[in-house]
Structure formats: structure tokens, C-alpha cells
Amino acid sequence: MKRRMLLAAGGGAALVAGAGWFVSRPDPVTGLLPGAASAQASDAAAPEIVDMVLGDPDAAVEVIEYASYTCPHCATFHADQFQQIKANYIDEGKIRFVYREVYFDRPGLWASMIARSPNNQDFFFSFTSTLYEKQREWLASGDPATIVQELRRLAKVAGLDDAALDAALSDAAKAEALYTWYQANADRDGITSTPSFLIDGRQYGNMAYPAFADILDARIG
């Protein structure tokens, strides 16, 4: 499991700054000037961050996944156990499944800002699947500017245009709100590694699908 890391002081805005935002010249990745982004952070009300949910919202059993887009164990979970959980429990309306992002690093936050930019749950979960499927590709370089370019490339394939991506990646208020939301969730629920799960409020680590199924079947009755 990937262990939690302390992120840069200053929260989301500091994380975004790692890719070249908040500098005295146009950013070489987005071409954006720093003024608009910093104005957003200081002048706009904090955006509301909502849970992303699959399945029956009124299902008796709730599963919350805490995951990082840059965590290889999370990518493996989404390629394997999640597919079976989705087919047998989410799509059957047996559980309410909530996905909550964990930010170990800047690329994970940038990916989340793009995934949430249309404010559409269908796009969010579709792009989340792409991020995990292509995780090694978009993270391969280790270079922040190249990672952002790779994220933009994947987002364009998914249907976003340059204007939408520029807006998403320069939204400092959203970055701050996401980071604050993540911190509150992690502190409240005691999340120290990914992937982690809350099943009806009880925390579990990653496990094989049969173990998930046994717990879910017992809760569903």
C-alpha cells in the first residue's frame, strides 16, 4: 500500500504551484498568466466539493473507496476487484459506492481537477477509469510539465477542449477546496494508505474480491 505523505505547506495552491502556476511569467505548460489564478483563490467563495457516487443512492450498504490516481495499488484494484464489485453489486443496485480522492502528490491533484472539471459524474468515473488504465503512461516521465501535457492529451480524447482544460488547471480556489476536503476526510476517517475502504463506516484495507464479496454479502443479508 502506498503510505500517506505530507504535502507542501499552503494546501492546494502550493501543490498547483509545482507545475509552474503563480509565477511572474506565463506558464510554459498552459500559457496562462498568474493573475487570474491567484485572483480566483483570493476573491471567489470556496467551491463546494461533492462526493462522486455510483449505484443506488438509497442502497442499504455504503462502500467508500479512498484512492490516489498515482497509486499503483489503486490502479490494480480498479483493473481487478472493482470490475467485479461493479458488475455484481454496484450495477445490481445492492450498494452505494463513493469514490474519494487522496492527494499524495501534485499529479494526483491535477488529475482530480481535470476529472471534476465538467462537474459530471459520468465523465468523472469514465476519466477515472482512463487515468488508472493509462497510469504508467501519463506518469512515466516524472517531469511535471510532461505529466500535465499527458493529462491534457487524455482529457482531450475524453472530450474536453483546451478552454475547459485551461480553466480546470488554473482554478486555484478549486485546488484549495479539494485539498481541504481531502484533509478533512482523511483526518475524520483515519486514512493513512491507499486504497482504503469504509464499508458501512468500518475501515478495511485492500483485499481480494472474495473477501470483499463475503463482507458485502454479510452486510446485505
Asked if residue 46 belongs to a domain, the reply is no
Residue 19 identity: A
User: Which H/E stretch holds residue 99?
Assistant: strand 95-101
Neighbouring C-beta atoms of residue 212, cutoff 10 Å: 22
Q: pTM to 2 decimals?
A: 0.84
- Counting the structural domains of the chain, the total is 1
Give DSSP secondary structure letters for 116-161: TTT--HHHHHHHHHHHHHTHHHHHTT--HHHHHHHHHHHHHHHT--
pLDDT in tens, 162-219: 999 999 998 888 888 999 999 999 999 999 999 999 999 999 999 999 999 999 999 9
Longest dimension (CA), the chain: 60
Asked if residue 32 belongs to a domain, the reply is no
Asked if residue 16 belongs to a domain, the reply is no
Residue 130, pLDDT above cutoff 80:
yes
Q: What's the domain range around 105?
A: 60-215
Asked if residue 149 belongs to a domain, the reply is yes
Pick from 47, 18, 52, 11: nearest CA to 171: 47
CATH of the domain at 139: 3.40.30.10
Cα 97 from Cα 181, distance rounded (Å) = 18
Asked if residue 115 belongs to a domain, the reply is yes
Asked if residue 80 belongs to a domain, the reply is yes
Asked if residue 117 belongs to a domain, the reply is yes
